[in-house]
């Protein structure tokens, strides 16, 4: 049982230094540190180590910040372009389907007129009508797959 208490104290101490803890956990930790000399020493040495690390100065190249900012901006633009291209694709797909549904009667009349004029069998007209809608969708799928393939090829 006492090992679990010490483990919990170490975890809370770590959380305190990194992300913060709730008031109830902070009260518990302070009470435990007041009662347990070992955990109090560990907390004290951890605080001293962090203070020492904060005092250490690190020399960096002058342009490191500028290069890092540039890379972050480029990555942000890449992500924004991908999300925009996905949104644009969905909007265009929705508009295409909407126009397809709205124009289906007109296209069917055109196929019927062609069948009456040329004498094409009804089965051929129906197959042509279905292909009229499927072929563009297949081209769109091929374009999306090609784009994803190109994007994954660039990452490597």
Q: The whole model's pTM is what?
A: 0.38
Burial class (CB in 10 A: 0-12, 13-18, 19+), 76: exposed
* Mean pLDDT computed over 80-103: 77
CA distance 153 to 147: 10
pLDDT band with cut points at 50, 70 and 90 for residue 84:
low
Q: Judging by beta carbons within 10 Å of its beta carbon (0-12, 13-18, 19+), is residue 112 exposed, middle or buried?
A: middle
The CA distance from 78 to 151, in Å, is 11
Q: Encode pLDDT of 1-30 as tens digits.
A: 457 888 999 999 889 888 889 999 999 999
Q: What is the pLDDT of residues 53-66, one digit of tens each?
A: 888 887 878 788 88
Query: Quick check: 46 and 17 in contact, CB under 8 A?
Result: yes
Arithmetic mean of pLDDT, 79-83: 73
Which run of H or of E encompasses 155?
helix 122-155
- Using CA of residue 95, residue 100, residue 102, residue 107, what is the dihedral sign? positive
* pLDDT tens by residue, 96-118: 878 888 888 888 888 888 888 99
Q: Does pLDDT of 131 surpass 70?
A: yes
């Amino acid at each position: 049982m006492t090992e679990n208490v010490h483990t919990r104290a170490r975890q809370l101490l770590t959380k305190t230094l990194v992300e913060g803890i709730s008031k109830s956990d902070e009260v518990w930790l302070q009470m435990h540190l007041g009662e347990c000399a070992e955990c109090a020493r560990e907390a004290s040495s951890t605080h001293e180590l962090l203070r020492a690390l904060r005092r250490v100065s690190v020399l960096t190249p002058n342009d490191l910040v500028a290069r890092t900012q540039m890379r972050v901006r480029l990555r942000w633009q890449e992500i924004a372009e991908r999300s925009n291209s996905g949104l644009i694709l969905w909007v265009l797909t929705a508009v295409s389907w909407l126009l397809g549904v709205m124009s289906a009667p007109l296209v069917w009349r055109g196929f019927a007129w062609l069948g009456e004029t040329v004498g094409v069998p009804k089965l051929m007209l129906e197959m042509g009508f279905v292909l009229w809608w499927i072929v563009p969708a297949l081209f769109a799928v091929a374009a999306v797959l090609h784009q994803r393939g190109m994007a994954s090829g660039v990452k490597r």
